Structure 1
Amino acid sequence: MSPNGQSSLPEPQVLEHLQRLPRPLYGHFQTLPNIVLGYRHAHPWGQLSYAIGGVLQVHTDSGFYLVPPQRAVWVPAQVQHRVSCPGDACLRSLYLEHAPAGWSASLCRVIAVNPLLRELIRTFSELPVHYDINGADGRLVQVLLDQLAMATEQQLMLPLPQDPRLRALCSHLQAQPDVSTSLSAWARQAGVSEKTLSRLFQRETGLSFRLWRQRMRLLSALPALERGERVTDVALACGYDSLSAFIAAFGQQFGLPPGAFLRARMDAQQQQ
């Protein structure tokens, strides 16, 4: 029997080769090592991963998702993705044969995890593999699915363009968030007009270049904040000239100041 009380627990590598889950909703507890899962892969079922500690990062062809503590990310069936996380990341994962009501069958999403949903996820990660679907455990499945359907979606996704010129530009900015090169300078490098590049950016990402860069910078701040780095140092590393500007932008994007994010980090550690 495993430390979390599951018997005959399929390992993640075995799960990847199964054609069907042992139950329509199956939970798994895992602590991931400090390694970047650089290979692309997909599952024949949907996966919901809840971050207890550490910031989980999910990369797909269409976007980049950051999942700080007290959030969860949904990866639908057959969606190609790769995952990275810090060595101290602690996750609980659910595998579902079908997406919750109202959720896209092809798009990932990050959701907030309230206390009830957190406890439901924890409960299912500790159940035996072949729990009684006609008993009390089985009845909890619908409760959990209802809670997932009602969960608030979080703006923790960075859309990625498909155009090679924009893809190279975005990769450069993600690697160096503090770079302040203007759109006109990028346009000259790409050999197109600023107006053309601006329109292309809006069409491919749904955001203006300014808003995309702002969201990218704020998302890049989350792992550093979760590690406990000083807010001032994080702001400068992300390209902000002043702490006040960073705090204002952070609050506008995430609905809470950086200090509240840090408190959520400490709360998450206490719940482990």
Structure 2
Amino acid sequence: MYRQTDIPHPEPTRLGELKRLPRPLYGHRETLPNRAIPRRHRHPWAQLSYAARGVVEVATPEARFIAPPDRAVWIPPGRLHGVRCSRDSEIRSLYLDPEACDLEWPDCHVLEVQPLLRELIRAFGELPVLYDREGADNRLAQVLLDRLRAAPRVPLMLPWPREPRLTRLCQRIQERPDAPHRLSDHARRLGVAERTLSRAFRAQTGLGFRRWRQRCRLFAALPRLEAGERVTDVALACGYESLSAFIAAFREEFGRTPGELVNRAPL
């Protein structure tokens, strides 16, 4: 149930100015929170970062989470994070009091935004910030929360190492996904044995080097696909020598082809 407390002042426009949310569920379409904030920051409420168009990426010290339009990233209260988005993205962020909304998920993760949930987010964004808590607007908010609780989790997460040398290695791959990035070359550059580097990489990320590199490349492909680039061009730009290899890797990672995963239908 929602807490029965109201904010007796005009609608806020800056999230950082709020002492508490104006409603337990907050996400008006025209307010400033509907933009990407790449610098690392945190806030005392939870956030659902969602792009109605484009691709949104949430970076925490532990991982990178990416969401095309049929996905969204859940960020728990107090979690240090930055948000980036692809060009021409249209963000629909939701901010929540987790206790009041009965959504106390402690970890960042990616959720599937099914068609009904997508339409509920769109409709909720049209409500006033201080929507009526006793009428139809409140009922719409509760249905949205119900569908959010039922949303399936999906593994669109790239774990990030903390060891400085591995962090720089991962940044190189993220910045140049088209480069070969062989583990033996990185080991030679760092002056360590390839086996030692492989063990350290798995210990820090939970993934083998090749699997991590593949996931990083595929994450780099999503904004390009959403922007409408040719699949063949995206494959080459992300380090794949053939279209078939790219599609096979994409299907292995996401369980779908590139065309099936990226939903270009705007809100």
Aligned to 2:4: none
Q: Which amino acid aligns with 1:228?
A: G
Q: Give 1:137-176 correspondences, 5 Å limit.
A: 137-176=137-176
Q: Give 1:40-79 correspondences, 5 Å limit.
A: 40-79=40-79
> Which segments of 5 or more consecutive residues in structure 1 lack a partner in the other structure?
1-6
Contact persistence 1:30–1:93 (CA under 8 A) = no
Question: C-alpha separation between the residues in 2 aligned to 1:140 and 1:226?
Answer: 29
If the length of structure 2 is used for normalisation, what is the TM-score? Answer: 0.88
Q: Give 1:95-244 correspondences, 5 Å limit.
A: 95-98=95-98, 104-105=105-106, 107-244=107-244
**1:173 CA drift (Å):** 0.6
Aligned to 1:16: 16
Question: C-alpha separation between the residues in 2 aligned to 1:103 and 1:20?
Answer: 17
Structure 1's 193 and 104: CA in aligned 2 closer, same or farther, altered over 3 A? farther
Q: Which amino acid aligns with 2:243?
A: L
**1:59 CA drift (Å):** 1.5
Q: Which amino acid aligns with 1:254?
A: F
Question: C-alpha separation between the residues in 1 aligned to 2:228 and 2:147?
Answer: 31
Question: C-alpha separation between the residues in 1 aligned to 2:148 and 2:36?
Answer: 28
Computed over aligned residues only, the root mean square deviation of the Cα atoms, in angstroms, reads 2.2
Contact persistence 1:8–1:129 (CA under 8 A) = no
My pick for the range that moved more, 160-169 or 23-32, is: 23-32
**1:70 CA drift (Å):** 2.0
Contact persistence 1:93–1:125 (CA under 8 A) = no
**1:86 CA drift (Å):** 3.3
Name the SS for the 1:223 alignment partner: helix
If the length of structure 1 is used for normalisation, what is the TM-score? Answer: 0.86
My pick for the range that moved more, 139-148 or 171-180, is: 139-148
Name the SS for the 2:65 alignment partner: strand
Contact persistence 1:55–1:85 (CA under 8 A) = yes
**1:87 CA drift (Å):** 4.0
CA displacement 1:112-170 (0-9 Å, x = unmatched):
11121112212221222222323333233332222112212122211100001110100
Name the SS for the 1:83 alignment partner: strand
Contact persistence 1:19–1:44 (CA under 8 A) = no
Name the SS for the 1:51 alignment partner: strand
Name the SS for the 1:47 alignment partner: strand
Structure 1's 30 and 71: CA in aligned 2 closer, same or farther, altered over 3 A? farther
Contact persistence 2:250–2:258 (CA under 8 A) = yes
CA displacement 1:228-264 (0-9 Å, x = unmatched):
11111111111111111110111121121112245x2
Contact persistence 2:55–2:69 (CA under 8 A) = yes
Aligned to 1:260: 260
Question: C-alpha separation between the residues in 1 aligned to 2:167 and 2:69?
Answer: 29
Question: C-alpha separation between the residues in 1 aligned to 2:206 and 2:103?
Answer: 22
Question: C-alpha separation between the residues in 1 aligned to 2:21 and 2:104?
Answer: 20
My pick for the range that moved more, 232-241 or 133-142, is: 133-142
CA displacement 1:170-195 (0-9 Å, x = unmatched):
00011111221321221222222222
CA displacement 1:30-87 (0-9 Å, x = unmatched):
598xx97442111111111221111112211111122211221112111111122234
**1:8 CA drift (Å):** 4.5
My pick for the range that moved more, 153-162 or 129-138, is: 129-138
Q: Which amino acid aligns with 1:256?
A: R
Question: C-alpha separation between the residues in 2 aligned to 1:236 and 1:103?
Answer: 41
Structure 1's 46 and 36: CA in aligned 2 closer, same or farther, altered over 3 A? closer
- Determine what percentage of the aligned residue pairs are the same residue: 56
Question: C-alpha separation between the residues in 1 aligned to 2:115 and 2:132?
Answer: 24
Name the SS for the 1:39 alignment partner: coil
Q: Which amino acid aligns with 2:59?
A: H
Question: C-alpha separation between the residues in 1 aligned to 2:126 and 2:175?
Answer: 38
Q: Which amino acid aligns with 1:126?
A: E
Runs of 4+ deviating beyond 6 Å: none
